[in-house]
Structure 1
């Protein structure tokens, strides 16, 4: 079982004094603690953001037949359907939230709810209103206010929706950005890819401009460039992994670096084990093993740390199709605390779970 990191901040009435981190075993740490040797106005608050620390064995294997846990009932707008879904996020309770792209909404499936999901953001038609979304591509659960943070792609904004019952609209966190992918580190910095500016920026919550952390040197395939960056992963050292979609590679940008390192692919578009074809979702475990959604090769790939030459197929790779061991344009994916794998099977309008063996 993977551990999780809670970021705790010691504050007074007027300013933050110190921060530290504590390892915990689940997401359930939303308690208020008083500091016994401080004045009553001083408290320690668990900032409600949890970063998964997935410890996947280096030789792990997964059942090659996935089980549909969301969608899979054809394209449509019903609550048991998805329509070309993109990104997803899995929380500590195995609740899955999904960017239901063509339905302009975010859907949630709780563990065990294999039939009907719940609309938790958008779902009010395509539009620019704060109660609407327009082709969302990614979503994460930000525990700061028990909220969803959403890349509202065609509205060129990042928005936040409360997960509290009765919420009818979101608020804009960042606007005028051609966002695609999101990530949040354990210090509560938000990372956003911009597929038009070919860059990734890091934001403090509430900040509008952000700091450039990857790309930003125009469209291209040099190591200081990106070409339509898509999904992101940020490790404990704040190194940023980027699925460099049109360059058919994954780039790693070490914190503060002016150029990236090819972590996977980069050998041109293709289906060899050295190649990728429009990669999207990415994940890095505590061993530094890189997992990649190799979208149009219809497979999930694994690159072990230090192995830049070729990866291995962990699921899929059986051609494009609708079978339990096949995908049709997979996009986002993630793991739960038991290392089970969840994959957005875009063109099959479903999410598949692959149990670890």
Structure 2
């Protein structure tokens, strides 16, 4: 099967922008699950954000990390070295908009420090941001009159975020080598992967980074320093190696 030009061009744009990870709600982009093995993709991507060299102008990015794509194809990007979150609307490839941060690195509620991931919580029209350098997860409301965020979780070496269809937030902690699930508003969360110290056992992780949560609430974890991808079924005490892990 060959998908429509519009469909695969959108996907190729995203992969070209940052190949390490794409973050979606599993239920808003569940058609990914149904892509057949013989699907074909465009051979060349199209730049939809940045592409003007590394810098801090509104038409530039500097080491973009995680991103999220909304239903209207607006792309929200964690612009890591610029300490800001950028928003690029569909069709506007000239300039993005600074949505959060962009006031220099710092720990003020109107600042970010090396944000590494972002997602959109559509239920209350807000962005949830992994503010890695400040060791916190923050929320910025899209239509707030105050240009600042609020702290959801602190004292965490967060790297990446995911959200399931019940609005539980999943956060990878590369300091504690674990992934926790949080109900929005709670501070401690429930351990869902790792948490047994740094290591390469099936019940361990070593610097977990990006995440994906499927419809069954299984968590897929990029286990960076173990060079593998792990799957942790909901409630499991250990994970399953689904890719890599051969050294």
- Global fold match (TM > 0.5): yes
Deviations 1:74-126 (A, max 9, x none): 11110000000100001111110000000000001010011100000111110
Structure 2 match to 1:207: 186
Structure 1 match to 2:227: 248
Task: Work out whether 1:102 is the aligned partner of 2:84.
Answer: no
Structure 1 match to 2:55: 76
Distance in structure 2 (CA, Å) of the matches to 1:194 and 1:138 = 12
Task: Work out whether 1:53 is the aligned partner of 2:30.
Answer: yes
- SS of the counterpart of 2:29? strand
Distance in structure 2 (CA, Å) of the matches to 1:242 and 1:194 = 11
Structure 1 match to 2:137: 158
Deviations 1:189-216 (A, max 9, x none): 0000000100000000000000000000
- Once the two structures are TM-superposed, the CA of residue 228 in structure 1 deviates from its matched residue by 0.4
8 A Cα contact 2:27 2:215, kept in partner: no
Larger radius of gyration: 1
Pick the structure with more helix per residue: 2
Closer/same/farther in 2, CA of residues 152 and 117 from structure 1, 3 Å limit: same
Task: Work out whether 1:140 is the aligned partner of 2:140.
Answer: no
RMSD over aligned Cα atoms: 1.4
Distance in structure 1 (CA, Å) of the matches to 2:28 and 2:137 = 20
8 A Cα contact 1:51 1:185, kept in partner: no
Deviations 1:250-288 (A, max 9, x none): 0000000000000111111xxxxxxxxxxxxxxxxxxxx
Distance in structure 1 (CA, Å) of the matches to 2:38 and 2:245 = 24
Distance in structure 1 (CA, Å) of the matches to 2:80 and 2:195 = 26
Distance in structure 1 (CA, Å) of the matches to 2:72 and 2:164 = 20
Aligned positions, number: 221
- SS of the counterpart of 1:116? coil
Q: Which 5+ residue runs of structure 2 have no aligned equivalent?
A: 4-25
Distance in structure 2 (CA, Å) of the matches to 1:235 and 1:50 = 8
- Once the two structures are TM-superposed, the CA of residue 66 in structure 1 deviates from its matched residue by 1.1
Pick the structure with more strand per residue: 1
For residues 145-224 of structure 1, the aligned pairs below 5 Å read 145-164=124-143, 166-224=145-203
Distance in structure 2 (CA, Å) of the matches to 1:221 and 1:65 = 37
- SS of the counterpart of 1:68? coil
Q: Which 5+ residue runs of structure 1 have no aligned equivalent?
A: 2-48, 269-357
Distance in structure 2 (CA, Å) of the matches to 1:57 and 1:190 = 29
Structure 2 match to 1:234: 213
- Once the two structures are TM-superposed, the CA of residue 144 in structure 1 deviates from its matched residue by 2.2
- SS of the counterpart of 1:87? strand
Distance in structure 2 (CA, Å) of the matches to 1:130 and 1:110 = 25
8 A Cα contact 1:182 1:192, kept in partner: yes
8 A Cα contact 1:104 1:132, kept in partner: yes
8 A Cα contact 1:161 1:167, kept in partner: no
- Once the two structures are TM-superposed, the CA of residue 165 in structure 1 deviates from its matched residue by 6.1
Structure 2 match to 1:261: 240
